[in-house]
Every structure is written in structure tokens, then in C-alpha cells.
Structure 1
Amino acid sequence: MADRDIIIGIDAGTSVIKAVAFTLNGTQVGTSAVLNSYDTAPDGAATQDMARTWADCARALRGLQDKVDDLSARVAALAVTGQGDGTWLVGADNRPVTDAWLWLDARAARTTTDLAAKPQNAARFAATGTALNTCQMGAQMAHMDQHCPDLLDRAEAALHCKDWLYLNLTGERATDPSEASFTFGDFRTRQYDDDVIAALGLTHRRALLPQIIDGTRVTHPLSAKAAGETGLPEGTPVSLGYVDMVMTALGAGVHTGDAGTACSTIGSTGVHMRAVTSDDVHLTDGAQSGYVICLPAPNMVTQVQTNMAATLNIDWALRMAADLMSETGHPHDYADLVGRIDGWMGRSTPGALLYQPYVSEAGERGPMVNPNARAGFIGLAAHHRFADLMRGVVEGLGMAARDCYAAMNTGSGGDMPSELRITGGAARSPALRAVLAACVEAPVRVSTREEAGAAGCAMMAAVAIGAYPDMDACIAEWVTPLLGDAEQPDPLLTETYAGLYPAYAAARDALTPVWDQLAEHRRASHERQLETNERSLDAGPVTASTKGS
């Protein structure tokens, strides 16, 4: 029998579930991916079939055996992470109560607003370090409790995505310190907090919250049932990872022992993180925003600010260009234009336009929470061309990153990171990296790690089974050597963006009442359209006898 030299990291995203094989020293040797899917409804629902999600996970694990020789005999441990927030209810015999409510689900919006306005919310924020939003299990469960309590009545445990998969892998109902503390607990103790649960109005539902386990210290064996479905050996140790955001950041270099470093994931959304001690957390003043999420290292947490849209802004601009070209009889797909971005950036003037990158229809949540925020250009003139617009969009992402890091100042070393590690598809663009470096006023480095999220949770399993004495030792071998060379910020760009940022922040504040008025206009227009539709239905169909009258 071959030596057990493989750790499998499972990363269950919203649309793709990946199973990735790593050697004990962190070398990636195989990947298997299965497309996932979710359903939406006009009332704001975004749900996912829980049974299908587990079946897709098992299929990804079986597929990995076609990519790695003798995998079943070589696997030393498994670990699992997944999409954060949302509510995955489990009832009798560990069966789903209903489809999972995802982080995209908007049904709890009014409940969230009401809870955030209560006096108890200040204490909840102080404990969790996390602003209340519709993504979170706490808000969703509070909404269920008020509007569909039968779901909670039939439930025996409230889990997250990775917790659901861990249950199917091991038979254990559990969650991890990261999601437990930013939803229902205190990031300092990494335990549930009764005052937080009470602030959400869920004290009578506390029994639904599962045990909290740290996957660097505790594993459970792969069950016989799961072994049969995955083809992996019964009894293999399984580690429950932390939420996917911090697993990705861990794998990409957010915490390597270098003071002042930070990590940004520039994907469809923008996730900006700094690793600090629990004592060095700086909570936003005034309006609450951001998350505080524990790291799998003693007394270390990440301060997090997230933009609702990052590369979605670029996708919008490229789709506009592709649509216009297609209208002229030259069909284009927007994805074909991605390779032209750096060229457009090179043919445009830095800082000529200001772009607010709030293109998501859900508005913005970092560093301010405003569902009415919308994207727009400021400073357009007749001489501007598409290259100028594209540069403005990319620079808007850099300004948004600066905005987020300024909001999480720890009070030790200034507002901006000393070095920024970047991950996500957009990190491949030299022009984007140059903009980020200049906006944040720090050198940037890109990790060559392909599957950072799966690597992050696999690292937890590596520590749990004793392959490394602690997480710092694992990081030294799995993460630090894969960081690329530091790319220094261009002094002229840095000066340009330092001068532009105050205007960006001023425009953000000044446009707030305008966004609110536009939102009210959209609401009123929608209501008028509904009334028109209802009158048309009441009038009935036009018949031949009345058509000409």
C-alpha cells in the first residue's frame, strides 16, 4: 500500500464544487470540479437543493480518483470549506427541512432593517464585529421565525454549506469558530454569545445552533455511508474548515507573519482583508459595516470589507462594447475583449475620470452599507473615448479597495497595508495590479497557488493530523514560497490617485440622497406598472364585438 501522502481540500462554492488533491507539503496534484446551481424567485429567494449539493460533492470526490493515481490508498485526510452565510436547516434523520437559503437570498431585507434599528444591535456589533445584513443566518432565521416558523419548528440544527457537507461526510452536526462567531458569537472568545442571540430575537431557537469545533484540532472519521458514496476509505480523518473567504485568503497569503500585509480577492465581488490580533480590531465608527472573521491561528482574526461588485463592473463595460459591435454585424462575446483591457489602459490618461463601481443591483456593503448605491461616471467630456471609460472602471476598483482598507484602520501602521497580496482572476492583469498598488500605496504580490480556498482548508487538515506542529509552520511551506515578486507602486500613479481619492469619497457621500431619490422613483414606477397590469386584467380580454367600439 502506498504511503498516505495526499490531503483533499473540498471548496463548495455557489456555482462550482471542487475537490483538490495536495501532497503533504502543499503541491497541488489534481482537481475535480462539478457545476453546482441554485434557483431564484421574484420574491428575492435564492435557494439550493441540499441533497443535490451533497451528491455533487460526492461526484467531485469520485472524479478526483480519475486524476490522482491510487488516491484511495494514498489519502491521509479530507477538509471542507464552502460558501459563507445562508441557512441550511436539518431535521429528523439529518434530512433537509427545505432547500437552503443562500447568501444571495434577499427575503430577510425588511427584518434585517428592523433588527439593525434596535438598541440591542450596538452590543451585537461590538461582539461579532460584523454588520447585520440579509446574507447572514441570524437575519434569515429571525425572518423565518416571524414569517415561516414551521421551518424552524421542524429543524433540529441550523448549518452552513460546509457544515452540511461535513455532516454528510462524518455524521456530525457542527460548525466552525469563524461563522459561529460573526453570526451568533464573539470573535474574541470564538464561542456563542447569549446577548447576540437575544439581539436577533432567537433565544428560544438556541438549541438549533450546533457544536463549535476547530478543524486544526478536531477531526471526525469518514463514515461508512460517505465512504460508499465517495469511494474513499472509511475512517479517513475529516477536518471542518473555516468559511471560504478566510480559507482563500489564508491560501493566498493574508497571514504569513509579516506585519501590515493584507489580501484582496478581486473576483465578481471584491473581498479585502487584514490579519490582526483580536485586540487590534478597529470597528467602524458611526454606520456599521464589514466583518470580523477568525483565522485558524491563536488570537488571529481578519478584518474584512467586501464590495458587492468588483469585476462585475468590468463585465458590464465589456458587454456594452460587445453589444454595440454585434449590432454592426460583427458578433462579439464580451469575454473575447478581456485581453484588450491592458491595451486600453495604456492608451488612456490616469485619473481623467471618476467611476463609482456600485454596479450591483444590491447596492454596496463595504465600507458603507447602502442598497440604493449605484455606479456612475463623473467628469465625462466630449473628448473621452472607450479606453478612458475602461480605465475609469478599473481605477474605480482601486479606489474601492482603498476605501475599504481605510475603513479598517487598526491604529498600528496607518490606513493602508504595507503590502497587498492579490488573488482572483483579475490579478492576472498587469494594468490592474499597477492600479491597485498605486491606490493602496503598497507593493503587490500574486500567489501562484491555483486553488487557494481548497488549499486553505487542506492546511487545517495538515495541522490536525500532525503533518505540521502549527499553522505558522504549515504557512511557511504551503504559502510563503508561492508568493511572487513584489511589484512596487508607480510614484506618478500613486500621486495621481492620492489626489483623486478625496473626490471619490466626497462623491460617494454627496450622491447618497440622489441614490435614495432614484430608488424611490424606481419603487413608484414599479408600483404604477403593477397597478396598470391589474387594471388590464380587470378589464378582461378584448373581444371581436368590442374591439372597434
Structure 2
Amino acid sequence: MKKQLLAGIDVGTTGVKVILFEPDGTAFSSAYEEYACIYPKPGWVEQDPQMLVNAMDRTCRAAMAQVPGMQAEIAGVSVSAQRSSVILLDEAGIPLRMLSWLDNRAAEESDEIARVLGAERFYDITGLPLCATWILPKLLHIRQHDPALWGKVRRVCQLHDFILHSLGAEDYFGNQAEACFWGLWDNRTLRFDPALLSAFEINRTLLPEIRKTGEVAGTLSSDAAERTGLPFGTPLCIGAGDQNSAALGAGVTTPGAVSISLGTGGLATVVLDGCYRDPRRQGMVTSHAISGLWTFEGLQNAAAGVFRWFRDEIAALEKAQAAGSGNAYDTLNQMIGSVPAGAHGLLMLPYFAGSAAPRWNAAASGGFLGLTLSHTRADMARACMEGITLEQKDILHSLQDAGKGFSHVRIVGGATKSPVWNQIQADIYNLPCETLAINDAAVLGAAISAGAGTHIFSSLAEGAKNMVHIGERYEPVPQNAGKYEELYRIYCDTYEAMEKARVFQKLANL
């Protein structure tokens, strides 16, 4: 009897991963390919959507090449993808441009939305603190500053929708879990808000149809089968944005459960049983992949992406030494493990793509504070890891201040491959942290979506119960936790002093 496999595809900001899973959560085969973003100007971040499709195709073929002939069949396919990245399509469906979620060019348009509608009203409708990250300000920027391009636009979609369509979906279908990132969607009524569409003159026909995670969207086309090696006619199921998919793939599916994901960006997620609105308008409220649940989220624009920058730009020697014979991250982890908590009095501000929750400052930028001639690259590497995690602690504080308490954290994302980083997280949060047997939670979430859509599971919740398994548990070290509480106070004081003196804004204006 052939094994049934579920294909999960995660098209992230810096790479695409494909894993073929058995229904019990065992990874049968996998493949990964890394790629880059395009930076046309400071604060502008774009990607080539066709390049992303090509990378996905190659990665699917690589994963399928590990499946012995006639011994397994692909029961279903689903997709996880970076959220709030918008693709502009012409009349023929050819992509004209893709603006990444990291793109901050639309700060003035964000201010325009505040003038026309008000930041409070925007948050009340969308559940999003108003900023340049969301799609609506990006669309307004293109319309205002590149009318020739805007005149060619006939459809707009998010990356999930584009990837699924490239595989054979019948249309550009969005999903409820990430629909709010349009900045036009009311996740209380689950529809595009007519008042927002009217106020900013966005034609509803530009936007995709929104469906529930796990619904069947079509079958794999013959062209996609040839490109990917996946079988022609395989059911294609609606997935979710990467962080929503990661919550599902982490088994964070019941009210009160919390996860922290550290990928290129970071996210803290608490599951809610009602559509909450934060009176301080600091946390995002999105729909959970499971319809009828919501998530209270704290977004971090740059997380492990900052550590990747450190690897490429500061630890170039370690990267070169590891080329062909090892992994630079393994070397960096060993270096970090030799440095005590607090990195000998060195603090790194991680705002390499601005600050999202809870401070929402697009002008914020990163840097090292406390450098002396005695500091080493190992100290800087640890300070980098600690600074990224301190921003997550800042987010957790904002969630706790909103009355969302929790006793432990489930940690996911690429950062969990590092045991030293896992322990740093437990120490800085001063909470037990659990990893997963499969730490690529977004890919696993996509596979769960495929399993629910093809009725291997009766629901997404049942799929998570069958496929998600705990890996390790890290307890906080009291001595380190105390030192990190002091470092966190310094971190907050540093940000507040620099913001009060308008240092970030002055640097951005140079």
C-alpha cells in the first residue's frame, strides 16, 4: 500500500522550503533554496515573483526526487507565504512589481490614511496599528508616485495567492487568516470594508476572493506538474500567511496558547476566542487559520534576518571558513556559547527594518551600544542574538500588559535550530520555552491545511493534534534571567532616550 504524503510549501522572505509529510507528522523528504531581496532605494524592498516561483519549482523537484517511485502518493498540497507582500498584475496576469512586507516607502501614505480616516478608526476596522507595512498604503504610494505603472494594474494579490495560482488554482484566492493585511479587511465581519474601499477609491474587483484555510482551490495543472514533479491533478488547498501557518504548525490552536516565531521577521502570537481590539492599538488582531478563532499578534520587522546580516557582513571570516566544509551558524553558536549573558556590557538595537510592535516607528534603526576595544566578534554575535530577543520580550510585555497572561512559550522558526538561542529566549522571557520536533512550523501548518482540505483530517485542529509534536523544553536560568531584566530596562531606556531626542528621525533624514 502506498504511503500518503502531504506537501507543505513555505515561500518565505529569504528562502523557500518544501517538506513532504506523513499524516503522523513524520517528515518524509525536504528541500530548501535561499534567495535574496531587491533594495532599489533605502527603505524600499522588492522581490521578483517569477524568481520565487522558479525557486519553488526547483525545491519541489528536489523534494520529490527523494520519493521512491510507486511507494508514495501526494494526497494534497498547500502553501504558506510571507504576509503583506503585494503583487501587482496586468491584464494577462503577468506580475508588474512585488513590494515586500519589509518595504517602508509608504510612510507618507500611512499619514494620509490617518488624516482621511484616523488611526483609531483604521485600527477599529482592521485590527492593525496604522503603519507603512500594510498593503493599502503601498497601493496608494504606487498610484500617487507611479501612475503609469498603476494604469496597467488589473489585479492585486498577496504572495500566497500568486503561488497557489501558479500551481493551478482556479483564481487568485486569498485566505481569511492574512486578509487583514490588505488594510481594507474587517476581521469582525470577514469582508472588505465598503467605507475603506470608498474612502481610498480602491475598486473591489482588483482584490482577490477570500476563502477559509483548508478549502480546495483547484488541482495541480499539467504545466505545474512538469515544473515541480508533483503529480498532475493533486488537490490544491488554501493555506495561510506564514505566521498564521506557523501558529497552526506549532499546535497553538486553543485560546490562551502562545508562540514566538523567529524567522526573517519575528512574531509573538496569543490565540483568542473572540475578535479583540487592543485599547492602546499596539497589538495586531488577525484571524487564526482555524475559522472562529483569532490571534493577538506582536510583529517584529527584523529578527533572524538581522542575525543573517551579521553573518554576512560582520562574521564574513567565519562564513568564508565554513564554506564547503560546514555551517557558519554552527561556528557562531559556539562563539556565542563562550560569552556570558549580557555580552560583557554590549547592547544591540535590532531595528534594522524599523520598529513594529509595540513601538511602531518606521524611522527606528539598529546599532551597537557599549562597544569598547575589549569586545570581540563573539561578544557582538551574542549581543546581536540578545538584542533580537529583547525586542520580542518588549512585545511579550505589551501582550501581558493587555491582560494576555501565559505560563510558557512555544518557540518556532529557523532560530530554534540553535540550542544556545533557545536558552537565551528562555532566560530573556523568564519563561519555559518548548521547541517542536519539526521546527519548520509554517511548512507543517501548510501540510496540515492540505490534510484538512483532502479530508485526511476532519478539521485543522485534528490535523494539528496528529502532526505536531514537542521537541525540547528549556527552563530559564535564574541568574541569567536577572541580568536580562536589567539589560531589558537599559534597552527600553536607550530606545526612549533616542526617540525623545529624535535621533532615529535625524539619521533617516541625512
Q: Which amino acid aligns with 2:186?
A: D
The aligned counterpart of 2:284 is: 291
Give, in whole Å, the separation in 2 of the partners of 1:126 and 1:115.
13
Q: Taking structure 1 as reference, are residues 392 and 503 closer, same or farther at Cα in structure 2, changes over 3 Å only?
A: same
Q: CA offsets, 1:340-389, max 9 Å, x none?
A: 545555543558636242351x3222221223323345566787666655
The aligned counterpart of 1:278 is: 274
The aligned counterpart of 1:530 is: none
Q: Taking structure 1 as reference, are residues 239 and 356 closer, same or farther at Cα in structure 2, changes over 3 Å only?
A: same
Q: Is the 8 A contact 1:97 1:151 kept in 2?
A: no
Alignment of 1:462 onto 2:461: no
Q: CA offsets, 1:212-251, max 9 Å, x none?
A: 1113234422334434544444432110211012212321
Give, in whole Å, the separation in 1 of the partners of 2:56 and 2:381.
38
Give, in whole Å, the separation in 2 of the partners of 1:227 and 1:315.
33
The aligned counterpart of 1:339 is: 331
The aligned counterpart of 2:257 is: 261
Q: Taking structure 1 as reference, are residues 467 and 405 closer, same or farther at Cα in structure 2, changes over 3 Å only?
A: same
Structure 2 residue matching 1:92: 3-state secondary structure? coil
Q: Taking structure 1 as reference, are residues 384 and 74 closer, same or farther at Cα in structure 2, changes over 3 Å only?
A: closer
Q: Taking structure 1 as reference, are residues 121 and 29 closer, same or farther at Cα in structure 2, changes over 3 Å only?
A: same
The aligned counterpart of 1:107 is: 105
Pairs aligned (count) = 505
Larger Rg: 1
Deviation at 1:44, TM superposition (A): 5.2
The aligned counterpart of 2:195 is: 195
Q: Is the 8 A contact 2:132 2:362 kept in 1?
A: no
Q: CA offsets, 1:397-417, max 9 Å, x none?
A: 332121101122375553xx3
Give, in whole Å, the separation in 2 of the partners of 1:494 and 1:73.
48
Deviation at 1:4, TM superposition (A): 6.5
Residue number among 513, 516, 523 corresponding to 2:509 in the alignment:
523
Q: Is the 8 A contact 1:345 1:390 kept in 2?
A: no
The aligned counterpart of 1:501 is: 488
Structure 1 residue matching 2:474: 3-state secondary structure? coil
Q: Taking structure 1 as reference, are residues 8 and 14 closer, same or farther at Cα in structure 2, changes over 3 Å only?
A: same
Q: Is the 8 A contact 1:342 1:430 kept in 2?
A: no
The aligned counterpart of 1:348 is: 340
Structure 2 residue matching 1:426: 3-state secondary structure? helix
Residue number among 462, 487, 506 corresponding to 1:473 in the alignment:
462
Alpha-carbon RMSD across the aligned residues, in angstroms, is 3.3
Q: Taking structure 1 as reference, are residues 5 and 338 closer, same or farther at Cα in structure 2, changes over 3 Å only?
A: closer
Structure 1 gaps of 5+ residues are 525-549
Deviation at 1:28, TM superposition (A): 1.2
Q: Is the 8 A contact 2:8 2:19 kept in 1?
A: yes
Alignment of 1:430 onto 2:419: yes
Q: Is the 8 A contact 1:282 1:408 kept in 2?
A: no
The aligned counterpart of 1:365 is: 356
Q: Is the 8 A contact 2:10 2:80 kept in 1?
A: yes
Q: Taking structure 1 as reference, are residues 283 and 198 closer, same or farther at Cα in structure 2, changes over 3 Å only?
A: farther
Structure 1 residue matching 2:354: 3-state secondary structure? coil
Q: CA offsets, 1:405-455, max 9 Å, x none?
A: 1122375553xx311112233323333323321322210111120532221
Q: Is the 8 A contact 1:309 1:357 kept in 2?
A: no
Q: Is the 8 A contact 1:266 1:426 kept in 2?
A: yes
Residue number among 146, 158, 161 corresponding to 2:159 in the alignment:
161
The aligned counterpart of 1:534 is: none
Q: Which amino acid aligns with 1:123?
A: R
Give, in whole Å, the separation in 2 of the partners of 1:523 and 1:71.
61
The aligned counterpart of 1:547 is: none
Q: How does 1:37-116 map to 2 (within 5 A)?
A: 37-42=36-41, 45-70=44-69, 74-93=73-92, 95-116=93-114
- Give the structure-1-normalised TM-score: 0.81
Q: Taking structure 1 as reference, are residues 120 and 113 closer, same or farther at Cα in structure 2, changes over 3 Å only?
A: closer
Structure 2 gaps of 5+ residues are none
Give, in whole Å, the separation in 2 of the partners of 1:74 and 1:392.
46
Give, in whole Å, the separation in 2 of the partners of 1:331 and 1:29.
32
Question: Identity over the aligned pairs, expressed in percent?
Answer: 24
Give, in whole Å, the separation in 2 of the partners of 1:64 and 1:464.
21
Alignment of 1:510 onto 2:497: yes
Q: Taking structure 1 as reference, are residues 354 and 304 closer, same or farther at Cα in structure 2, changes over 3 Å only?
A: farther
Give, in whole Å, the separation in 2 of the partners of 1:380 and 1:17.
36
The aligned counterpart of 1:210 is: 208
Q: Is the 8 A contact 2:407 2:431 kept in 1?
A: yes
Q: How does 1:381-460 map to 2 (within 5 A)?
A: 389-409=380-400, 411-412=402-403, 414=405, 417-460=406-449
The aligned counterpart of 1:22 is: 21
Deviation at 1:45, TM superposition (A): 4.5
Structure 2 residue matching 1:395: 3-state secondary structure? helix
Structure 1 residue matching 2:96: 3-state secondary structure? coil
Q: Taking structure 1 as reference, are residues 124 and 27 closer, same or farther at Cα in structure 2, changes over 3 Å only?
A: same
Alignment of 1:303 onto 2:302: no
Deviation at 1:40, TM superposition (A): 3.2
Q: Taking structure 1 as reference, are residues 81 and 105 closer, same or farther at Cα in structure 2, changes over 3 Å only?
A: same
Q: Is the 8 A contact 1:175 1:211 kept in 2?
A: yes
Q: Taking structure 1 as reference, are residues 314 and 151 closer, same or farther at Cα in structure 2, changes over 3 Å only?
A: closer
Which range moved further: 100-109 or 139-148?
100-109
Alignment of 1:489 onto 2:485: no
Give, in whole Å, the separation in 2 of the partners of 1:119 and 1:513.
27
Q: Taking structure 1 as reference, are residues 349 and 454 closer, same or farther at Cα in structure 2, changes over 3 Å only?
A: closer
Deviation at 1:312, TM superposition (A): 4.8
Give, in whole Å, the separation in 1 of the partners of 2:242 and 2:290.
16
Q: Is the 8 A contact 2:219 2:236 kept in 1?
A: yes
